[in-house]
Amino acid sequence: MGFGVKTNTEYGSRTFVYEVKGLCQTEATDKLNNPIRNSGTVYITVPYTSMNQEMRRISRMGGKIISIKTLGEHPEAQAETTNTGEQTKSMTQAKPHIDKKDVPVNTYRPKNPFMGKCLSNEELVREGGDGTVRHLKFDLSGSDLKYLEGQSIGIIPPGTDAKGKPHKLRLYSIASTRHGDDLNDQTVSLCVRRLEYNHPETGERIYGVCSSYLCALEEGADVAITGPVGKEMLLPNDEDATIIMIATGTGIAPFRAFIWRMFKEREQNPDYQFKGLAWLFFGCPYTPNILYYEELEELQRQFPDNFRVTYAISREQKNKDGGKMYIQHRIQEEAEELWKEIQKPSTHTYICGLKGMEGGIDEGMSAVTSQFDVNWDEYRKQLKKEDRWHVETY
């Protein structure tokens, strides 16, 4: 943070003291318990979880932070600390996370799914790309199914498996906001890649049951939907947060929902006007495989100070060693800046995509945090404990 404070895994529950000069005498500063001293200095206690928000508030009030120390390191401040009147609160309260008790879960279960209809089924991979990925929109009219960004729904393909039993549901991350692509709260969208591979023994081409069913679904067709499920990937309510999103392939689905909510639905969300930084890392084999490419590029143009995309295109780009450019190499390239962002108490990091991608991300982050005598594995565990490190891989 630039003030000599080392961040470590113990800080989550600690209190810090900001030594601030230059605060203007305003209605806001008049409410402080202790007056601004003749020297122009005031001390403000700040819990770790509100440090970033407090910095912005101080800046808006014309102040300059001279130092940041732990409460124990600042004996003078212990004697005359300024706060808002309650020991457990700072001048600026961080906006609370979503109360997970209020998150809708399992409105519809496999034994009694909701029968929706396919409204549209569009190809996302452009000419020259690899495979097929479809954006599907389903009608939820007449249902009680409500969901939040970051959740998933289940799809039950018709027919039976090799044993003659009904197919089990498959979970897919939701690619739309709670308002749906039509902004009428009556639809839900998915981003689905058709699974296909060669059988390791016979060489036979194998196609995924549910993904093939969905990718071939015609408009107007019925589809059995369950859910929603999931509380791991929820977007915080903080409008000033930094949101780091790391995705491969269809792992972009929940992040499309995040990005649409942040930047495309301001009229629909008067109580959520995102002003922070959203940074998407996206990995794919070819440029035509960049899903939602036109929309991502347009939003970067519209919100250059708030939205950033970094691509890792493995078959077209080279890493510093001359090999293929995978997402872990982009993370390693940006690790120092990412580390600065991740230390902020209002930063949330999300990872979604193929299982195993976490290893490369950890490798890149560990290389830079070791320069600050910080054990990345321990620090990541602390982020997870603070509900600021979110992983959903498959």
Measured in whole angstroms, the distance separating CA 118 from the mean position of its chain's CA atoms is: 28
pLDDT tens figures, 58-72: 766 777 777 777 665
| Euclidean distance between CA atoms 132 and 121, whole angstroms | 12
Residues 153-200 have pLDDT tens digits of 999 999 999 899 999 999 999 999 999 999 999 999 999 999 988 888
Residue 88 CB partners (closer than 8 Å, separation 6+): 47
Report the alpha-carbon distance of residue 95 to residue 240 in Å, rounded. Answer: 9
Asked whether residue 5 carries a pLDDT value surpassing 70, the answer given is no
pTM, two decimal places: 0.75
Q: Which residues are catalytic?
A: 172-173, 352, 392, 394
Question: Can you tell me the distance from the alpha carbon of 34 to that of 30, in angstroms, rounded to the nearest whole number?
Answer: 9
| pLDDT at 37 exceeding the cut of 70 | no
* 220 vs 117: CA distance, rounded Å: 6
SS3 labels along the chain: CCCCCCCCCCHHHCEEEEEEECCCCCHHHHCCCCCCCCCCEEEEEEEHHHHHHHHHHHHHCCCEEEEEEEHHHCHHHHHCCECCCCCCCCCCCCCCCCCHHHCCCCCECCCCCEEEEEEEEEECCCCCCCCCEEEEEEECCCCCCCCCCCCEEEEECCCECCCCCECCCEEEEECCCCCCCCCCCCEEEEEEECCEEECCCCCCEEECHHHHHHHCCCCCCEEEEEEEECCCCCCCCCCCCEEEEEEEHHHHHHHHHHHHHHHCCCCCCCCCCCCCEEEEEEEECCHHHCCCHHHHHHHHHHCCCCEEEEEEECCCCECCCCCECCHHHHHHHCHHHHHHHHCCCCEEEEEEECCCHHHHHHHHHHHHHHHHCCCHHHHHHHHHHCCCEEEEEC
Task: Report the C-alpha gap between 16 and 46 in whole angstroms.
Answer: 5
Q: Is the pLDDT of residue 244 over 50?
A: yes
What digits encode the pLDDT tens for the residues 112-167? 999 999 999 999 999 999 999 999 999 999 999 999 999 999 999 999 998 999 99
